[in-house]
Structure 1
Amino acid sequence: MAWINVDYDFYTNTFKGTVIPESAFDRKSVESEAFINKITFGRIHKYDLRPDDLKAVKLSICATAEAVYNLDKHRDIKSENNDGYSVTYVDSGESSRRLRMIEAADIYLADTTLRNRMASYDY
């Protein structure tokens, strides 16, 4: 299995990310890459991707890493109010987390066939 090389330099200079600190990036990007591989039916690790698809995958890993970082940072908080100090906690499970991750990934993967279960991806 070949892992996709998405480093902090790519995140900050190509993706133009500013949300994730460098100390947290590796952990979030590894989790995101595993997730992207899962929702693309293992294709990102199985095939040598075309340059356009590879860039889309790298961008989707960054976007998903940001979603994961924000979800973890604000875990279980639905809303917060500083005036009277009021915090509302959500009762959300993994389905909500998964949906947010898919939404982040699909921004970049939508123009590829990687998410299409019926598409043949042999090349």
Structure 2
Amino acid sequence: MTEYADYNYYKEQFHGIVIPESAFLSEMLKAGIYIDYITFGRVHDTEIPEEIRMAACAVADVMYQGDTGRQEVKSETVGKVSVSYVTEQQDGQIKERTREKKQYTAAYPYLVHTGLLNRGVRQ
């Protein structure tokens, strides 16, 4: 399994603030597995492309937030304090499908122009 970025890259290049260093390796390993899954295992270069590193960091952030149960704020009112959160199950969707959609959405902007998301055979 490939760890596409180290913690220094996450902090300095990606400007990540979500994952603490103690949890980073585990999250990056899971993110690497997911990146391999959505790119059909096509990333085999000895030099990992920048787009892959960024996508892995973005996916790791989403995974960490899901693993720790951190909720995304949907709306907030300051007077008389009112906060509502985005729920994982919307319109009958199961939790895992919603999480996978968030992971794909996080990776997509970095990978869309690489051709790695295409299902066709590359020659």
Q: Place the TM-score, normalised by the shorter chain, in its bin.
A: 0.7 to 0.9
Hey, what's the Cα distance between the residues in 2 that align with 1:107 and 1:87? 25
- Give the match's secondary structure for 2:101: helix
Partner of 1:39: 38
Counterpart contact for 2:14–2:57, Cα < 8 Å: yes
Hey, what's the Cα distance between the residues in 2 that align with 1:37 and 1:9? 22
Partner of 1:48: 45
Hey, what's the Cα distance between the residues in 2 that align with 1:88 and 1:4? 30
Counterpart contact for 2:2–2:29, Cα < 8 Å: no
1:65-111 CA-partner distances (Å, limit 9, x unpaired): 00111122236888798948988965442100100000001120011
Identical-residue share of aligned pairs (%): 31
Hey, what's the Cα distance between the residues in 1 that align with 2:86 and 2:55? 30
User: Are residues 1:67 and 2:69 paired?
Assistant: no
What's the Cα RMSD here? 2.8
Counterpart contact for 2:73–2:84, Cα < 8 Å: no
Hey, what's the Cα distance between the residues in 1 that align with 2:35 and 2:23? 18
Structure 1 residues not aligned, in runs of 5+: none
Partner of 2:110: 108
How many residues align structurally? Answer: 116
User: Are residues 1:23 and 2:25 paired?
Assistant: no
Counterpart contact for 1:78–1:89, Cα < 8 Å: no
Partner of 1:3: 2
